[in-house]
Amino acid sequence: MAERLIVTLDGPAGVGKTTLARRVADKLGVAYLDTGAMFRATAWKLGEGAWDLDEAELARRMEGFVFSIAGVGGATVLSLDGEPVPGDIRTETVGMWASNIATIGAVRAFQKRAQQAIGHASSLVAEGRDMGTVVFPEATCKLFLDARPEVRARRRFMQLKSLGQPCPPLEIIEAQIRARDHQDRSRAEAPLRPADDAVIVDTSDLDVDQVFERLIMEVARLAR
Ligand code: C5P
């Protein structure tokens, strides 16, 4: 097999990682790994309040969980136990459940193993919080997206509206995003932060095409 290419794309909630990771994966013709969806699907399957269980019990419940991917680019399908992960995991509430279990060592250890096993088998654009720092520290292309919280809240608000989904007021979305950021950045294990060798792109004042062009340019430079 030709040498694997791993591109890591980390950043806070609502920064546009998913849209951009899909587009970059399409352009490179490699699979796309949405590790946020892995945390969300795990939290969803474990159920509300799982974060209060003791770690040994959590580890036991996750033992049989098997994640896999199929396909390529933005069309890559992530499955848990052979079933594509459901759209229901995409709410801000399940995002907070995911963030709650993501502070727990046993959960992070399980996720890291599952993510590395997938990365071992194929080239990837891997999106998350700790892809460049913890899961794929050897990746040659490490990208980190950031944007001001109010900009991220507005983008999420517009996205929910355009999807016709129930949409809380903008101030509530901003408060939820700030709370999740705080929990993700301040946790002891694998906190959200750029790797020392990551390229940081502030997307606050760029549109999605401009960010995409910049990321493709950086990948071409770093992968040379
Ligand atoms: O990216 P997304 O919003 O789907 O992630 C949901 C939550 O999962 C994040 O807020 C974070 O707490 C957790 N997560 C993580 N490490 C990752 C990906 C997601 O801790 N690599």
Domain membership of residue 1 (yes or no) is no
Answer yes or no: is the C-beta of 31 below 6 A from any ligand 1 atom. no
pLDDT at 1: 46
Let me know if residue 181 belongs to a domain: yes
37 within domain boundaries:
yes
Q: Does some domain include residue 180?
A: yes
Give the pair of three-digit tokens for residue 50: 């799982």
The pLDDT tens digits of the residues spanning 11-26 come to: 999 999 999 999 999 9
* Ligand 1 proximity of 42 Cβ (cutoff 6 Å): no
What percentage of the chain reaches a pLDDT higher than 90? 90
User: CA-CA distances (angstroms) from residue 7 to 143, 162, 200?
Assistant: 7, 29, 14
Confidence of residue 224 (pLDDT cuts 50, 70, 90): confident
pLDDT per residue as tens digits for the range 90-102: 888 999 999 999 9
The stretch 192-199 carries a mean pLDDT of 97
CATH of the domain at 86: 3.40.50.300
Give the separation between CA 8 and CA 127, rounded to whole angstroms.
6
At residue 2 the predicted structure's pLDDT band, cuts being 50, 70 and 90, is low
- The number of folded domains in the chain is 1
Note down the domain range covering 132.
6-222
Q: What's the chain's average pLDDT?
A: 95
Pocket of ligand 1 contains residue 156 by CB under 6 Å: no
| Amino acid sitting at position 50 | A
Does 128 sit in the ligand 1 pocket, CB within 6 Å? Answer: yes
For 17, 73, 102, 151, the CA distances from 34, given in Å and listed in that order, are 9, 11, 15, 22
Q: What is the CA(35)–ligand 1 centre distance, in A?
A: 7
Phi and psi, residue 199, nearest 5°: -90, 125
